[in-house]
Amino acid sequence: MVYIKSTSEQTFLLPTDLRKKIAQDHICFLIEEVVNQLDFSKFDEAVAGAGNPSYHPRINLKIILNGICDRITSTRQLEKQTNENIVFMYLAENLNPDFHTIAMFRKNNGGLIKQCFLQTVEVARKLDMTNFSKLYLDGIKIKANASKSKNFSKEEVEFLSNFVDDHLEKMDEVEKRELNEEEVKIPQSLTNKSKLRDKIKQILKNVKESKKSLDKAKGKIEQEKVDKVNLTDMDSKIMKMKKGFFDQAYNCQLLVEDKTGIIVGNHLSNSPVDVEETKPTMEKFKEEQKIDLEGVEIFQDNGYSGSKTAAYYEEEKAIAYIPDVVTTQELHGKTDKISEFDNDKFELDFEKNQVMCPGGYRMDFVKKYVDHQKKGGNWTNIYKTDKCKECPLQAKCANRKSKIPHREVRINPLMRKIRLRFRTKEGLVKYNKRFHKGEVAQAHIEHNLGYREFKTRSKGSCENEVNLFSIAYNLKKIQIYKKNNAPSKSNCWDLAKTYLFVSKII
């Protein structure tokens, strides 16, 4: 047995084609062809004329996308890869943009990144990979690039802002002596002296910038009527994460089609609940894809259930499958927790706008009630009957605490219409697919792409990241689809050239 002959001083007589060193079905070729089809005319106009040359935007975009596919999101690591990894060298076209250049591109080029996302959806449509007649909407909480310890209340912001204004010149003296409540009126939450000193030190590291942040925070608190604001990322909010703990995060809505699970729409929000995210997500989707929702079946979980959501889909003539709390209990076999006299046990006659109670009496419509206390302003119709005194079920059914012994039933007819869809076998079968279709994108992004935390700050910059990981997810889907449906001799690079088309999406 002998060793394979090798030498560390071997040199190449002729230049090497990097493509020959990369696997033929590598996703980098698909990334390259999709990016190359984008419209860069605005960038060409911006760099025209005198000045230092800049990196072409396609280079930065290709590096970032391939990095996400390989679970690399750090810009310093991406810079390193362009010097060491042959795939990144190829995509970077033998150039080496530094980490700051890559980071600024990711932050400031939302239009181009969005264009690339829409391009992947269009490619999937051309390959007959999409079915827009069935859509699945679900939300995923992604941690913001900010610590929840950086949250400041209104009182803290005002105190620290005044402190910077009134005591900046005396800072040396303030640090030498102890602060007490007689000299400075300190908010209750800052009465701990060590906590106060820490926050003051944070603010005074860069007084001018801190003053700007504090003024911006005061304006945000007054404008949005919020109790606290995070000085690191003011657009993010404290949210309950999947594992039950609370953290600074954003609520990312992902809209997935039925056929192959392509992400066809997304929306980023700083609302911790999903109930009001349906309309903005679907309106954005309609505008981007230039389609309407008439006849489209849409599946969502009970976090979206509400009268506004039901009214929106009724107006759009869409077929919604959104279970309410009681329906969710029924779907999970917890019917023992539902009272036999629950509002959902009363049958609604849509034509006559009357309700049939368990005792067999008809209840007439009285008025429409809007609950302004709850998020979303849910509304219901109120139904009553004067037959309660004669009913043998009155003691169990009517409200015993009320001075008038009668039952008042509140039903939203639009939500009841959605609820009835779950009473058919066909409706149950369709809804059960949601767990396999709607949530697979979340799992892929979190576990396979490793995207659990944003790298940038502010809602606009984080929206760019949402589009970036949506692009990476779609490209992986397209790659797998073509491997399973294309001739074995074809590679991803050739297929991309065959099926991609030149179009100006935006």
For tokens 């992947």, name the residue. Answer: 120
pLDDT above 70: percentage of residues in the chain: 82
**pLDDT recorded at residue 179:** 46
Average pLDDT over residues 374-389: 80
| pLDDT tens, residue by residue, 32-81 | 999 999 999 888 887 777 778 889 999 999 999 999 999 999 999 999 99
Q: What is the CA radius of gyration of the chain?
A: 29
Within 8 A by CB and 6+ apart from 12, the residues are none
- Residue 39: CB atoms within 10 A of its CB come to 16
pLDDT at 489 > cutoff 90: no
| pLDDT tens, residue by residue, 386-445 | 888 788 888 778 765 555 567 888 899 999 999 999 888 888 888 877 766 778 888 899
Question: Reduced to 3 states, what is the DSSP secondary structure of residue 398?
Answer: coil
Average pLDDT over residues 485-503: 52
Q: How far apart are CA 344 and CA 194, in angstroms?
A: 55
Q: Which of 5, 59, 6, 53 is nearest to 32 (CA)?
A: 59
Average pLDDT over residues 183-211: 59
For residues 154 and 307, the model is more confident at 307
SS3 letters for 260-305? CCCEEEEEEECCCCCCCCHHHHHHHHHHHHCCCCCCCEEECCHHHC
**pLDDT recorded at residue 502:** 39
CB 255 within 8 A of CB 232: no
Q: Which of 373, 265, 376, 384 is nearest to 310 (CA)?
A: 376
Q: How far apart are CA 77 and CA 437, in angstroms?
A: 33
Q: How far apart are CA 371 and CA 211, in angstroms?
A: 40
| Average pLDDT in the chain | 83
CB 199 within 8 A of CB 217: no
Strands 409-411 and 379-384: antiparallel
pLDDT band at 194, cuts 50/70/90? low
**pLDDT recorded at residue 26:** 93
Strands 134-143 and 297-299: parallel
Helix (H) or strand (E) holding 223: helix 207-224
In this structure, the chain runs to a length of 506
| pLDDT tens, residue by residue, 108-123 | 999 999 999 999 999 9
- Residue 81: CB atoms within 10 A of its CB come to 22
pLDDT band at 505, cuts 50/70/90? very low
User: Which tokens hold the place of 355?
Assistant: 């309700």
